[in-house]
Amino acid sequence: MTTSFAQRLQHLPPYLFAEIDKVKRALIAQGKDVINLGVGDPDTPTPAHIVAALQRAALEPGNHQYALDQGKPALRQACAAHYQRRFGVTLDPDTEILPLLGSKEGIGHIHLAFVNPGDVVLVPEPGYPVYHSGTLFAGGVTHWMPLTRARNYLPDLSAIPADVARRARLMFLCYPNNPTATIAPRSFFAEVVAFAHQHDILVCHDAAYCDVYYDGVKPPSFLEVPGAKDVGLEYYSLSKTYSMTGWRVAFAAGNRDLLAGLAKVKSNLDSGIFGAVQDAAIAALTGPQECHATLLAMYQERRDVLIQGLRACGCAVEPPQGAFYVWAPVPQGMTSAQTTMTLLEQAAIVTTPGNGLGPSGEGFVRMTLTAPKERLREAVARIQKLKLYG
């Protein structure tokens, strides 16, 4: 019996975090107090009123059967109302909203609807790995768009060769950006819309962190920009906004033909979101928003602890504008991988090496703010002791 994986799996990049994981597990086994700033997963529970909505909805027999592929009309209306309220963007709940089993699912499946073998997909690096995995699964070819500090972590569209732009079918973007924690200005989104029109490229904007921001400075939606709906869609997730990563609920919004293609793929792969989870998502989007304000205040406090602490160590780190990451420059003379391993072995702190998310991430490590501020203080104290930054 031959159980070797199909080529599309063999072509996936190696699991770069295996080595980090191995050392982490060994430290824990030795009884070390490991501080995990590696994984971007909220550490606080889902707000109680959302959990209560799930409990009530789980008792409804109507929720026990296959859900509608395109989600309950009430959920699509709640999503549209959120876009209206938050971004001033008007969306038709019937044709311009598509609920997803988490945005990762919709990000990974869109290629199957629009990318033919050999088509180019424009993907930012460093970045979320799924943009590229989806490309591989569809037989497409990734063209990497480097994100560098010199360009405020915005891709240089003029650097995309003409023949690549001609063959490009999709472009992925992500702002607030994971991992660099920067926001894109509306002017950049306008540039993207013009580029997409010019080259007939479909834009997929991953807005997983659109509602995780600091100092009250709200990141824009791609769909706020005139013409965006003609060329693209946006992924909005409840995962980070409401600490609901385990629930698997998100939606895509924007161009109706793009959504129809994604819906067609999905109707052949899944059968919708558990009805009770949809009801809970409605409660999250339409219910009281104090929980969200509390979450933002908490991340802001954590940000201040980590940024001030790292700066006091001599690390010239910029504070995040959005998302719950800190994109910290590595000490002089060290690589991302060396920094991650030093922090792990000598301070029992787990971080993500920037180059693990793409070659342009070399020179940085990513730390998450998904640990209590006392733990972040402890992390800073340990880093201080190592005197890595001189």
Please report whether residue 178 would count as binding ligand PLP according to CB under 6 A: yes
Binding to ligand PLP by residue 133, rule CB under 6 A?
Answer: no
Among 72, 82, 104, 375, binds ligand PLP (CB under 6 A): 104
Cis peptide before 179 (omega within 30 of 0): yes
Give the interface segment with ligand PLP, choosing from 9-17, 98-106, 277-285, 367-375 (CB under 6 A). 98-106
Q: Judged by CB, which is closer to ligand PLP: 104, or 266?
A: 104
Q: Does 206 bind ligand PLP (CB under 6 A)?
A: yes
Site for ligand PLP in 328-357 (CB under 6 A): none
CB of 246 to ligand PLP, least distance (A): 9
Q: Counting contacts by CB under 6 A, is residue 237 touching ligand PLP?
A: yes
Nearest CB to ligand PLP, comparing residues 236 and 389: 236
Q: Give least dist CB 46 to ligand PLP, A.
A: 13
Which pair of tokens denotes residue 148?
């560098």
In angstroms, what is the minimal distance from the CB of 117 to ligand PLP? 25
CB 249 → ligand PLP: shortest distance, Å?
7
Instruction: Tell me if 370 contacts ligand PLP by CB under 6 A.
Output: no
3-state secondary structure the chain: CCCCCCHHHHCCCCCCCHHHHHHHHHHHHCCCCCEECCCCCCCCCCCHHHHHHHHHHHCCHHHHCCCCCCCCHHHHHHHHHHHHHHHCCCCCCCCCEEEECCHHHHHHHHHHHHCCCCCEEEEEECCCCHHHHHHHHCCCEEEEEECCHHHCCCCCHHHCCHHHHHHEEEEEEECCCCCCCCCCCHHHHHHHHHHHHHHCCEEEEECCCCCCECCCCCCCCHHHCCCHHHHEEEEEEHHHHCCCCCCCCEEEEECHHHHHHHHHHHHCCCCCCCHHHHHHHHHHHHCCCHHHHHHHHHHHHHHHHHHHHHHHCCCCCCCCCECCEEEEECCCCCCHHHHHHHHHHHHCEECEEHHHHCHHHCCEEEEECCCCHHHHHHHHHHHHHHCCCC
Q: Using the minimum distance from each CB to ligand PLP, give the nearer residue, 128 or 389.
A: 128
From the list 36, 63, 77, 103, which residue makes contact with ligand PLP (rule: CB under 6 A)? 103
Q: Is the peptide bond before 176 cis (omega within 30 degrees of 0)?
A: yes
Beta carbon nearer to ligand PLP, 103 or 342: 103
Q: Which of 79, 160, 208, 347 is the binder for ligand PLP (CB under 6 A)?
A: 208
Q: Does 63 bind ligand PLP (CB under 6 A)?
A: no
Residue 181 makes contact with ligand PLP by CB under 6 A? no
Can residue 204 be called a binding residue for ligand PLP (CB under 6 A)? Answer: no
**Of the candidate residues 38, 93, 102, 124, the single one contacting ligand PLP (CB under 6 A):** 102
Q: Is 250 in the site for ligand PLP (CB under 6 A)?
A: yes
Answer yes or no whether residue 147 interacts with ligand PLP by CB under 6 A. no
Q: In this complex, which beta carbon is closest to ligand PLP, that of residue 199 or of residue 240?
A: 240
State in angstroms the smallest separation of the CB of 43 from ligand PLP: 14
Tokens of 180: 């660099």
Q: Residues interacting with ligand PLP, by CB under 6 A? A: 40, 102-104, 128, 174, 178, 206, 208, 237, 239, 245, 250
